[in-house]
Amino acid sequence: MIDIKALLDFDTRHIWHPYTSMKDPLPVYPVKEAKGVWLYLYDGKRLIDGMASWWAVIHGYNHPVLNQAICKQVERMSHVMFGGITHEPAVSLARRLLEITPRPLDRIFFADSGSVSVEVALKMAIQYWTSKGKGEKKRFLTVLKGYHGDTFGAMSVCDPINGMHELFTHVLPQHLFAPEPPPLSAGDFKEEHIEPLREIAERHRHEIAAVIIEPVVQGAGGMRFYSPAYLKRLRELCDSYDLLLIFDEIATGFGRTGELFASYLAGVSPDIMCVGKALTGGYMTFGATLTTEEVALTISEGKPGVFMHGPTFMGNPLACAVSLASIQLLFSYDWKGKVKKMEEIMRRELSKCADVKGVNEVRVLGSIGVVEMMDVVDVAQIQKMFVEKGVWIRPFGKLIYIMPPYVIEEDELVTLCNAIFDIVRSISAEKY
Protein backbone atom coordinates (compact mmCIF):
# COMPACT_ATOMS: atom_id res chain seq x y z
CA MET A 1 0.00 0.00 0.00
CA ILE A 2 1.43 3.37 -1.03
CA ASP A 3 1.45 6.11 1.60
CA ILE A 4 0.06 9.00 -0.47
CA LYS A 5 0.77 11.63 2.16
CA ALA A 6 4.42 10.55 2.36
CA LEU A 7 4.60 10.51 -1.44
CA LEU A 8 3.27 14.07 -1.71
CA ASP A 9 5.44 15.32 1.17
CA PHE A 10 8.57 13.97 -0.49
CA ASP A 11 7.49 15.40 -3.85
CA THR A 12 6.92 18.84 -2.33
CA ARG A 13 10.32 18.88 -0.63
CA HIS A 14 12.51 17.38 -3.33
CA ILE A 15 11.00 17.27 -6.81
CA TRP A 16 11.00 20.31 -9.06
CA HIS A 17 8.04 20.36 -11.44
CA PRO A 18 7.88 22.42 -14.69
CA TYR A 19 7.69 26.17 -14.19
CA THR A 20 7.13 25.99 -10.46
CA SER A 21 8.75 27.37 -7.33
CA MET A 22 10.48 25.16 -4.78
CA LYS A 23 9.64 27.74 -2.10
CA ASP A 24 5.93 27.92 -2.83
CA PRO A 25 5.18 24.97 -5.15
CA LEU A 26 1.87 24.49 -6.88
CA PRO A 27 -0.22 21.53 -5.68
CA VAL A 28 0.25 18.28 -7.59
CA TYR A 29 -2.26 15.47 -8.03
CA PRO A 30 -0.89 11.90 -7.84
CA VAL A 31 -2.01 9.74 -10.76
CA LYS A 32 -2.26 6.00 -10.13
CA GLU A 33 -3.03 4.94 -13.68
CA ALA A 34 -4.42 6.24 -16.96
CA LYS A 35 -6.58 4.72 -19.66
CA GLY A 36 -8.28 6.23 -22.69
CA VAL A 37 -8.92 9.88 -21.85
CA TRP A 38 -9.09 9.23 -18.10
CA LEU A 39 -6.55 9.88 -15.35
CA TYR A 40 -7.20 7.88 -12.17
CA LEU A 41 -6.00 9.43 -8.91
CA TYR A 42 -5.07 7.51 -5.78
CA ASP A 43 -8.03 8.95 -3.88
CA GLY A 44 -10.43 7.26 -6.29
CA LYS A 45 -11.27 10.37 -8.31
CA ARG A 46 -11.00 10.15 -12.09
CA LEU A 47 -10.39 13.07 -14.44
CA ILE A 48 -11.01 13.56 -18.15
CA ASP A 49 -7.67 14.72 -19.54
CA GLY A 50 -8.21 17.77 -21.71
CA MET A 51 -4.49 18.29 -22.24
CA ALA A 52 -3.42 14.96 -23.78
CA SER A 53 -0.33 15.32 -21.58
CA TRP A 54 0.78 18.54 -23.24
CA TRP A 55 -0.77 17.66 -26.60
CA ALA A 56 1.08 14.39 -27.16
CA VAL A 57 -1.25 11.53 -26.19
CA ILE A 58 -3.43 11.69 -29.30
CA HIS A 59 -4.66 8.08 -29.03
CA GLY A 60 -5.32 8.23 -25.30
CA TYR A 61 -3.53 6.36 -22.55
CA ASN A 62 -2.74 2.67 -22.28
CA HIS A 63 -3.71 1.93 -25.87
CA PRO A 64 -3.36 -1.82 -26.59
CA VAL A 65 -1.79 -1.28 -30.03
CA LEU A 66 0.92 1.01 -28.68
CA ASN A 67 1.42 -1.15 -25.59
CA GLN A 68 2.00 -4.15 -27.83
CA ALA A 69 4.49 -2.25 -30.01
CA ILE A 70 6.54 -1.30 -26.94
CA CYS A 71 6.42 -4.79 -25.41
CA LYS A 72 7.28 -6.52 -28.67
CA GLN A 73 10.27 -4.26 -29.26
CA VAL A 74 11.63 -4.42 -25.70
CA GLU A 75 11.90 -8.19 -26.03
CA ARG A 76 14.28 -7.70 -28.98
CA MET A 77 16.28 -4.70 -27.77
CA SER A 78 15.43 -1.54 -25.90
CA HIS A 79 18.40 0.44 -27.18
CA VAL A 80 21.54 0.30 -29.29
CA MET A 81 23.79 3.18 -30.23
CA PHE A 82 22.98 4.71 -33.59
CA GLY A 83 26.60 5.43 -34.45
CA GLY A 84 27.64 2.79 -36.97
CA ILE A 85 24.48 0.74 -36.30
CA THR A 86 20.98 0.80 -37.74
CA HIS A 87 17.86 -1.25 -37.11
CA GLU A 88 14.51 -2.08 -38.66
CA PRO A 89 12.33 0.18 -36.41
CA ALA A 90 14.34 3.25 -37.42
CA VAL A 91 14.29 2.40 -41.13
CA SER A 92 10.57 1.59 -41.12
CA LEU A 93 9.72 4.78 -39.24
CA ALA A 94 11.86 6.91 -41.54
CA ARG A 95 10.24 5.37 -44.61
CA ARG A 96 6.75 6.10 -43.25
CA LEU A 97 7.57 9.65 -42.19
CA LEU A 98 8.89 10.46 -45.64
CA GLU A 99 5.66 9.12 -47.14
CA ILE A 100 3.43 11.43 -45.10
CA THR A 101 5.46 14.64 -44.73
CA PRO A 102 5.69 17.43 -47.34
CA ARG A 103 7.95 16.97 -50.33
CA PRO A 104 10.80 17.56 -50.98
CA LEU A 105 11.73 16.61 -47.39
CA ASP A 106 13.88 13.55 -47.91
CA ARG A 107 16.38 13.14 -45.04
CA ILE A 108 15.68 12.49 -41.35
CA PHE A 109 17.73 13.08 -38.22
CA PHE A 110 16.22 11.42 -35.14
CA ALA A 111 16.41 13.48 -31.94
CA ASP A 112 15.67 13.08 -28.23
CA SER A 113 12.73 15.48 -27.99
CA GLY A 114 10.97 18.37 -29.67
CA SER A 115 13.34 20.94 -28.21
CA VAL A 116 16.35 18.97 -29.39
CA SER A 117 14.83 18.68 -32.87
CA VAL A 118 14.80 22.50 -32.95
CA GLU A 119 18.44 22.60 -31.84
CA VAL A 120 19.23 20.22 -34.69
CA ALA A 121 17.32 22.37 -37.18
CA LEU A 122 19.20 25.52 -36.17
CA LYS A 123 22.54 23.72 -36.41
CA MET A 124 21.60 22.32 -39.82
CA ALA A 125 20.86 25.81 -41.12
CA ILE A 126 24.14 27.25 -39.81
CA GLN A 127 26.22 24.33 -41.07
CA TYR A 128 24.47 24.48 -44.45
CA TRP A 129 25.55 28.08 -45.07
CA THR A 130 29.04 27.47 -43.67
CA SER A 131 29.42 24.64 -46.17
CA LYS A 132 28.42 27.04 -48.95
CA GLY A 133 31.14 29.46 -47.88
CA LYS A 134 28.69 31.89 -46.27
CA GLY A 135 29.53 31.51 -42.60
CA GLU A 136 28.26 35.02 -41.92
CA LYS A 137 24.70 33.67 -42.32
CA LYS A 138 24.27 32.54 -38.72
CA ARG A 139 21.34 34.51 -37.33
CA PHE A 140 17.68 33.54 -37.35
CA LEU A 141 14.59 35.52 -38.17
CA THR A 142 11.33 34.66 -36.46
CA VAL A 143 8.16 36.30 -35.15
CA LEU A 144 7.08 37.46 -31.73
CA LYS A 145 4.71 35.34 -29.62
CA GLY A 146 6.55 32.20 -30.75
CA TYR A 147 7.72 29.27 -28.64
CA HIS A 148 10.18 26.58 -29.74
CA GLY A 149 11.40 24.87 -26.56
CA ASP A 150 13.40 25.25 -23.37
CA THR A 151 16.95 24.40 -24.49
CA PHE A 152 19.35 27.26 -25.20
CA GLY A 153 19.16 27.38 -28.99
CA ALA A 154 15.40 26.93 -28.91
CA MET A 155 15.03 29.64 -26.25
CA SER A 156 16.94 32.08 -28.44
CA VAL A 157 14.16 32.02 -31.05
CA CYS A 158 11.30 32.22 -28.53
CA ASP A 159 9.65 35.58 -27.87
CA PRO A 160 12.39 37.58 -26.06
CA ILE A 161 10.07 40.03 -24.32
CA ASN A 162 6.79 38.36 -23.42
CA GLY A 163 7.96 34.75 -23.60
CA MET A 164 8.81 32.37 -20.78
CA HIS A 165 12.56 32.85 -21.24
CA GLU A 166 12.94 36.61 -20.79
CA LEU A 167 15.29 35.96 -17.85
CA PHE A 168 17.90 34.48 -20.21
CA THR A 169 17.69 37.04 -23.01
CA HIS A 170 20.99 38.70 -22.07
CA VAL A 171 22.97 35.46 -22.45
CA LEU A 172 21.27 34.06 -25.55
CA PRO A 173 22.35 34.65 -29.15
CA GLN A 174 20.65 37.80 -30.44
CA HIS A 175 18.35 36.95 -33.31
CA LEU A 176 15.83 38.98 -35.30
CA PHE A 177 12.13 39.28 -34.49
CA ALA A 178 9.27 40.56 -36.61
CA PRO A 179 5.75 41.30 -35.34
CA GLU A 180 3.58 38.19 -35.00
CA PRO A 181 1.13 37.40 -37.80
CA PRO A 182 -2.33 38.95 -37.26
CA PRO A 183 -4.89 36.52 -35.82
CA LEU A 184 -7.38 34.74 -38.05
CA SER A 185 -10.06 37.04 -36.65
CA ALA A 186 -8.31 39.97 -38.38
CA GLY A 187 -9.64 38.72 -41.72
CA ASP A 188 -7.96 37.77 -44.97
CA PHE A 189 -4.20 37.98 -45.36
CA LYS A 190 -2.85 41.25 -46.74
CA GLU A 191 0.67 42.03 -47.90
CA GLU A 192 0.99 44.58 -45.10
CA HIS A 193 0.76 41.73 -42.58
CA ILE A 194 4.14 40.38 -43.60
CA GLU A 195 5.79 43.65 -44.65
CA PRO A 196 7.69 44.15 -41.34
CA LEU A 197 9.20 40.67 -41.68
CA ARG A 198 10.02 41.32 -45.34
CA GLU A 199 11.83 44.55 -44.43
CA ILE A 200 13.95 42.76 -41.80
CA ALA A 201 14.71 39.93 -44.23
CA GLU A 202 15.80 42.36 -46.91
CA ARG A 203 17.95 44.41 -44.55
CA HIS A 204 19.66 41.41 -42.94
CA ARG A 205 19.55 38.84 -45.73
CA HIS A 206 23.33 38.43 -45.77
CA GLU A 207 23.44 37.35 -42.10
CA ILE A 208 20.20 35.35 -41.81
CA ALA A 209 20.50 31.57 -42.04
CA ALA A 210 16.80 30.77 -41.82
CA VAL A 211 13.35 31.85 -40.78
CA ILE A 212 11.82 29.60 -38.11
CA ILE A 213 8.09 29.64 -37.38
CA GLU A 214 5.26 27.55 -35.97
CA PRO A 215 2.93 27.10 -38.95
CA VAL A 216 -0.65 28.40 -38.50
CA VAL A 217 -0.71 27.88 -34.71
CA GLN A 218 1.57 29.64 -32.24
CA GLY A 219 1.38 27.23 -29.31
CA ALA A 220 2.84 27.87 -25.86
CA GLY A 221 3.49 31.50 -26.78
CA GLY A 222 -0.23 32.25 -26.69
CA MET A 223 -2.29 29.62 -28.54
CA ARG A 224 -2.75 32.01 -31.47
CA PHE A 225 -4.09 31.03 -34.90
CA TYR A 226 -3.15 32.91 -38.07
CA SER A 227 -3.81 32.71 -41.80
CA PRO A 228 -2.11 29.92 -43.80
CA ALA A 229 -1.72 32.52 -46.57
CA TYR A 230 0.98 34.14 -44.41
CA LEU A 231 3.07 31.00 -44.86
CA LYS A 232 2.62 31.02 -48.63
CA ARG A 233 4.05 34.52 -48.78
CA LEU A 234 6.77 33.63 -46.29
CA ARG A 235 7.91 30.75 -48.52
CA GLU A 236 8.17 33.18 -51.44
CA LEU A 237 10.17 35.66 -49.37
CA CYS A 238 12.61 33.01 -48.19
CA ASP A 239 13.18 31.95 -51.79
CA SER A 240 13.64 35.57 -52.89
CA TYR A 241 16.14 36.44 -50.17
CA ASP A 242 18.00 33.12 -50.19
CA LEU A 243 16.92 32.03 -46.70
CA LEU A 244 16.09 28.57 -45.44
CA LEU A 245 12.60 28.06 -43.99
CA ILE A 246 12.12 25.98 -40.83
CA PHE A 247 8.68 24.82 -39.73
CA ASP A 248 8.27 23.84 -36.09
CA GLU A 249 5.45 21.25 -36.30
CA ILE A 250 6.07 19.84 -32.83
CA ALA A 251 2.66 20.94 -31.53
CA THR A 252 0.74 20.92 -34.83
CA GLY A 253 1.97 17.66 -36.35
CA PHE A 254 -0.04 14.45 -36.69
CA GLY A 255 -3.49 15.95 -37.15
CA ARG A 256 -3.89 18.52 -34.41
CA THR A 257 -5.09 21.31 -36.74
CA GLY A 258 -7.34 19.11 -38.87
CA GLU A 259 -4.61 18.47 -41.43
CA LEU A 260 -1.86 15.92 -40.91
CA PHE A 261 0.66 18.77 -40.73
CA ALA A 262 -0.18 22.46 -40.51
CA SER A 263 1.99 23.15 -43.57
CA TYR A 264 -0.64 21.31 -45.63
CA LEU A 265 -3.14 24.03 -44.72
CA ALA A 266 -0.91 26.46 -46.60
CA GLY A 267 0.18 24.10 -49.36
CA VAL A 268 3.86 24.90 -48.84
CA SER A 269 6.89 22.93 -47.77
CA PRO A 270 9.79 24.04 -45.55
CA ASP A 271 13.45 23.28 -46.06
CA ILE A 272 13.64 21.85 -42.54
CA MET A 273 10.81 20.55 -40.34
CA CYS A 274 10.72 19.59 -36.66
CA VAL A 275 8.33 17.03 -35.18
CA GLY A 276 7.90 15.61 -31.69
CA LYS A 277 5.15 15.34 -29.04
CA ALA A 278 2.50 13.19 -30.80
CA LEU A 279 5.19 11.41 -32.86
CA THR A 280 5.20 8.55 -30.33
CA GLY A 281 1.54 8.93 -29.41
CA GLY A 282 2.83 10.48 -26.20
CA TYR A 283 4.47 7.25 -25.04
CA MET A 284 8.09 8.39 -24.99
CA THR A 285 10.25 11.45 -25.45
CA PHE A 286 11.32 11.54 -29.09
CA GLY A 287 11.65 13.93 -32.01
CA ALA A 288 12.88 14.18 -35.56
CA THR A 289 14.24 16.86 -37.85
CA LEU A 290 13.52 16.38 -41.54
CA THR A 291 15.26 18.21 -44.35
CA THR A 292 15.79 18.14 -48.09
CA GLU A 293 18.40 16.26 -50.07
CA GLU A 294 19.93 19.58 -51.11
CA VAL A 295 20.44 20.73 -47.51
CA ALA A 296 21.77 17.34 -46.39
CA LEU A 297 24.23 16.96 -49.26
CA THR A 298 25.46 20.55 -48.96
CA ILE A 299 26.25 20.00 -45.27
CA SER A 300 27.96 16.71 -46.08
CA GLU A 301 30.13 18.22 -48.85
CA GLY A 302 31.49 21.02 -46.67
CA LYS A 303 33.97 20.98 -43.82
CA PRO A 304 34.11 18.75 -41.73
CA GLY A 305 32.03 16.58 -44.08
CA VAL A 306 29.57 15.40 -41.40
CA PHE A 307 26.67 16.89 -39.49
CA MET A 308 27.91 17.78 -36.02
CA HIS A 309 25.28 16.30 -33.76
CA GLY A 310 24.80 12.85 -32.23
CA PRO A 311 22.65 12.24 -29.13
CA THR A 312 23.30 9.11 -27.07
CA PHE A 313 19.73 7.88 -27.45
CA MET A 314 19.32 8.91 -31.08
CA GLY A 315 17.12 6.50 -33.02
CA ASN A 316 16.07 4.64 -29.88
CA PRO A 317 14.39 1.39 -31.07
CA LEU A 318 11.55 1.57 -28.52
CA ALA A 319 10.72 5.14 -29.57
CA CYS A 320 10.94 4.25 -33.27
CA ALA A 321 8.70 1.20 -32.86
CA VAL A 322 5.98 3.00 -30.94
CA SER A 323 6.16 5.99 -33.30
CA LEU A 324 5.54 3.77 -36.31
CA ALA A 325 2.68 2.05 -34.47
CA SER A 326 1.19 5.44 -33.57
CA ILE A 327 1.27 6.63 -37.18
CA GLN A 328 -0.28 3.37 -38.39
CA LEU A 329 -2.95 3.63 -35.71
CA LEU A 330 -3.76 7.20 -36.78
CA PHE A 331 -4.28 6.08 -40.37
CA SER A 332 -6.39 3.09 -39.32
CA TYR A 333 -9.47 5.25 -38.72
CA ASP A 334 -11.02 8.48 -39.98
CA TRP A 335 -8.90 10.74 -37.81
CA LYS A 336 -9.66 13.76 -39.98
CA GLY A 337 -13.40 13.25 -39.51
CA LYS A 338 -12.86 12.78 -35.78
CA VAL A 339 -10.90 16.03 -35.44
CA LYS A 340 -13.50 17.88 -37.52
CA LYS A 341 -16.24 16.63 -35.18
CA MET A 342 -14.20 17.74 -32.17
CA GLU A 343 -13.89 21.17 -33.74
CA GLU A 344 -17.65 21.40 -34.28
CA ILE A 345 -18.40 20.40 -30.68
CA MET A 346 -15.88 22.86 -29.21
CA ARG A 347 -17.15 25.71 -31.40
CA ARG A 348 -20.69 25.02 -30.23
CA GLU A 349 -19.93 24.52 -26.55
CA LEU A 350 -17.13 27.02 -25.93
CA SER A 351 -18.93 29.81 -27.79
CA LYS A 352 -21.07 30.21 -24.66
CA CYS A 353 -17.99 31.60 -22.90
CA ALA A 354 -17.75 34.55 -25.31
CA ASP A 355 -20.57 36.43 -23.57
CA VAL A 356 -19.09 36.06 -20.10
CA LYS A 357 -17.55 39.20 -18.59
CA GLY A 358 -13.79 38.89 -18.36
CA VAL A 359 -13.45 36.72 -21.48
CA ASN A 360 -11.43 38.36 -24.22
CA GLU A 361 -11.87 35.81 -27.01
CA VAL A 362 -12.90 32.24 -27.77
CA ARG A 363 -11.13 30.47 -30.64
CA VAL A 364 -11.15 26.95 -32.01
CA LEU A 365 -9.09 25.25 -34.72
CA GLY A 366 -9.07 21.51 -35.33
CA SER A 367 -8.85 19.82 -31.93
CA ILE A 368 -7.65 22.98 -30.17
CA GLY A 369 -10.09 25.01 -28.08
CA VAL A 370 -9.03 28.26 -26.39
CA VAL A 371 -10.75 30.67 -24.02
CA GLU A 372 -8.58 33.74 -23.53
CA MET A 373 -9.35 35.78 -20.42
CA MET A 374 -8.80 39.49 -19.93
CA ASP A 375 -6.58 38.84 -16.91
CA VAL A 376 -4.04 36.24 -15.84
CA VAL A 377 -5.71 33.34 -14.02
CA ASP A 378 -4.67 31.89 -10.66
CA VAL A 379 -3.37 28.48 -11.77
CA ALA A 380 -3.51 26.78 -8.35
CA GLN A 381 -7.05 27.99 -7.67
CA ILE A 382 -8.46 27.19 -11.10
CA GLN A 383 -6.68 23.83 -11.24
CA LYS A 384 -8.38 22.79 -8.00
CA MET A 385 -11.75 23.90 -9.37
CA PHE A 386 -11.27 21.80 -12.50
CA VAL A 387 -10.24 18.73 -10.50
CA GLU A 388 -13.36 19.10 -8.38
CA LYS A 389 -15.37 18.99 -11.61
CA GLY A 390 -13.63 15.80 -12.70
CA VAL A 391 -11.49 17.24 -15.50
CA TRP A 392 -7.79 17.90 -16.02
CA ILE A 393 -7.21 21.28 -17.66
CA ARG A 394 -3.95 23.13 -17.11
CA PRO A 395 -4.27 26.88 -17.85
CA PHE A 396 -1.38 29.26 -18.26
CA GLY A 397 -1.27 33.04 -18.30
CA LYS A 398 -4.63 34.28 -19.53
CA LEU A 399 -5.42 31.08 -21.39
CA ILE A 400 -7.79 28.28 -20.50
CA TYR A 401 -7.49 25.77 -23.31
CA ILE A 402 -7.94 22.13 -24.23
CA MET A 403 -6.22 19.86 -26.74
CA PRO A 404 -7.74 16.45 -25.91
CA PRO A 405 -6.85 13.00 -27.25
CA TYR A 406 -8.61 12.22 -30.54
CA VAL A 407 -10.31 9.19 -28.97
CA ILE A 408 -12.45 11.38 -26.73
CA GLU A 409 -16.20 10.76 -26.88
CA GLU A 410 -18.69 13.55 -27.47
CA ASP A 411 -20.09 13.50 -23.93
CA GLU A 412 -16.56 13.63 -22.50
CA LEU A 413 -15.65 16.60 -24.69
CA VAL A 414 -18.88 18.37 -23.74
CA THR A 415 -18.00 17.78 -20.08
CA LEU A 416 -14.63 19.48 -20.61
CA CYS A 417 -16.27 22.46 -22.33
CA ASN A 418 -18.98 22.76 -19.68
CA ALA A 419 -16.36 22.74 -16.94
CA ILE A 420 -14.60 25.64 -18.64
CA PHE A 421 -17.87 27.55 -19.03
CA ASP A 422 -18.87 27.00 -15.40
CA ILE A 423 -15.50 28.07 -14.04
CA VAL A 424 -15.21 31.07 -16.34
CA ARG A 425 -18.63 32.20 -15.09
CA SER A 426 -17.51 31.63 -11.50
CA ILE A 427 -14.37 33.72 -12.02
CA SER A 428 -16.45 36.43 -13.68
CA ALA A 429 -19.02 36.54 -10.87
CA GLU A 430 -16.23 36.83 -8.32
CA LYS A 431 -14.44 39.66 -10.16
CA TYR A 432 -17.24 41.62 -11.75
User: Out of 137, 138, 277, 398, which one is annotated catalytic?
Assistant: 277
CATH 3.40.640.10 domain residues, the chain:
76-330
Task: Tell me whether residue 248 is one of the annotated catalytic residues.
Answer: yes
> pTM higher than 0.85, yes or no?
yes
CATH 3.90.1150.10 domain residues, the chain:
4-62+334-431
Closest CA to 346 of 417, 411, 282, 265: 417
Q: Does domain 4-62+334-431 have CATH number 3.90.1150.10?
A: yes
User: Out of 19, 35, 333, 384, which one is annotated catalytic?
Assistant: 19
Strand partners, 225: 217
The contacts found for 179-183 with CB under 8 angstroms, 24 or more apart, are: 179/143, 179/144, 180/143, 180/144, 180/145, 180/146, 180/218, 180/224, 180/226, 181/143, 181/226, 181/227, 181/230, 182/226, 182/227, 183/224, 183/225, 183/226, 183/363
User: Out of 49, 112, 248, 271, which one is annotated catalytic?
Assistant: 248
CATH of domain 76-330: 3.40.640.10
User: Out of 49, 61, 138, 147, which one is annotated catalytic?
Assistant: 147
For the ranges 149-153, 160-164, 326-330, the lowest mean pLDDT is seen at 160-164
CB 232 within 8 A of CB 193: no
For residue 298, the model assigns a pLDDT of 98
Tens of pLDDT, residues 196-210: 999 999 999 999 999
Enumerate residues 6+ apart whose C-beta is below 8 A from 408.
Answer: 37, 48, 60, 342, 416
Q: Classify residue 318 by its DSSP letter.
A: H
Strand partners, 396: 399
Rounded Cα distance between 286 and 274, Å, is 11
Rounded Cα distance between 130 and 128, Å, is 6
CB 131 within 8 A of CB 168: no
Task: Tell me whether residue 19 is one of the annotated catalytic residues.
Answer: yes
Is the confidence at residue 1, as pLDDT, over 90?
no
Is the confidence at residue 161, as pLDDT, over 90?
no
